Amino acid sequence: MTFTRSSSGESSVRVAVIGAGMAGITCALTLARAGQHVTVFEKSRGYGGRMATRHTAFGGFDHGAQYFTVRDARFALAIQTASEWIVPWSASSVRVLDALGHTLPSQAPSHQAREAHYVAAPGMNALVRAWAQPLADAGHVHLNTRVQRISPDPVKAGGWQLHTDDPTDAQAQQVFGGFDRVLIATPHPQALGLLQASGLDQADSIAQPLTQALSVPTVAPCWTLMLAFPQAMQPDLPSFGPQWNAARSTHHRISWLARENSKPRREHIERWTVQASPAWSQEHVNDTPERVAAKLRRAFAEVTGIHAEPTHAEVHRWLYAQTQTPLGQAYVWEAAAGLGLCGDWCLGHRIENAYISGLELAQATLGKAAD
Ligand SMILES: Cc1cc2nc3c(=O)[nH]c(=O)nc-3n(C[C@H](O)[C@H](O)[C@H](O)COP(=O)(O)OP(=O)(O)OC[C@H]3O[C@@H](n4cnc5c(N)ncnc54)[C@H](O)[C@@H]3O)c2cc1C
**Mind giving me the DSSP string for 185-250?**
-S-HHHHHHHHHHTT--STTSTTHHHHHHHTS-EEEEEEEEEEEEGGGG-TT----S-S-SEEEE-
- Mean pLDDT in residue range 36-59: 97
pLDDT at 9: 42
- For ligand 1, atom 8, the nearest C-alpha belongs to 66
Atom of ligand 1 nearest to the CA of 145: 43
- For ligand 1, atom 33, the nearest C-alpha belongs to 19
Q: Tell me the torsion sign for CA atoms 235, 237, 243, 248.
A: negative
185: phi then psi, degrees, rounded to nearest 5: -125, 55
Distance (Å) from CA 157 to ligand 1 centroid: 33
- For ligand 1, atom 1, the nearest C-alpha belongs to 64
Distance (Å) from CA 158 to ligand 1 centroid: 30
pLDDT at 91: 52
pLDDT at 300: 97
Asked if 346 contacts 183 with a C-beta cutoff of 8 angstroms, the reply is no
Atom of ligand 1 nearest to the CA of 24: 25
343 φψ region: left (φ > 0), alpha (ψ -120 to 50), beta (else): left
Please tell me whether residue 360 adopts helix, strand or coil conformation.
Answer: helix
Asked if 34 contacts 56 with a C-beta cutoff of 8 angstroms, the reply is no
Mutate-to-test residue for ligand 1 from 186, 195, 260, highest number of ligand atoms within 8 A of CB? 186
Give the residue, 272 or 2, on which the prediction is more confident.
Answer: 272
pLDDT at 237: 65
When pLDDT is cut at 50, 70 and 90, the band that residue 99 belongs to is confident
Domains, the chain, ordered by start:
10-45+143-216+326-365 (3.50.50.60), 89-115+219-324 (3.90.660.10)
- For ligand 1, atom 3, the nearest C-alpha belongs to 65
Atom of ligand 1 nearest to the CA of 190: 38
Residues within 6 Å of ligand 1 by CB: 18-24, 41-44, 49-51, 64-68, 146-147, 185-187, 190, 194, 222, 224, 275, 318, 321-322, 343-344, 349-351, 353-354
Q: Is the pLDDT of residue 8 over 50?
A: no
Asked if 143 contacts 20 with a C-beta cutoff of 8 angstroms, the reply is yes
Q: Which amino acid is at 55?
A: H
When pLDDT is cut at 50, 70 and 90, the band that residue 243 belongs to is confident
Q: In whole angstroms, give the CA distance from residue 112 to residue 69.
A: 9
Distance (Å) from CA 104 to ligand 1 centroid: 30
When pLDDT is cut at 50, 70 and 90, the band that residue 159 belongs to is very high
When pLDDT is cut at 50, 70 and 90, the band that residue 171 belongs to is confident
Distance (Å) from CA 271 to ligand 1 centroid: 22
| CA-only gyration radius of the chain, Å | 21
pLDDT at 5: 45
Name the β-bridge partners of 354. Answer: none
Mutate-to-test residue for ligand 1 from 50, 71, 322, 356, highest number of ligand atoms within 8 A of CB? 50
Atom of ligand 1 nearest to the CA of 67: 8
pTM, 2 dp: 0.94
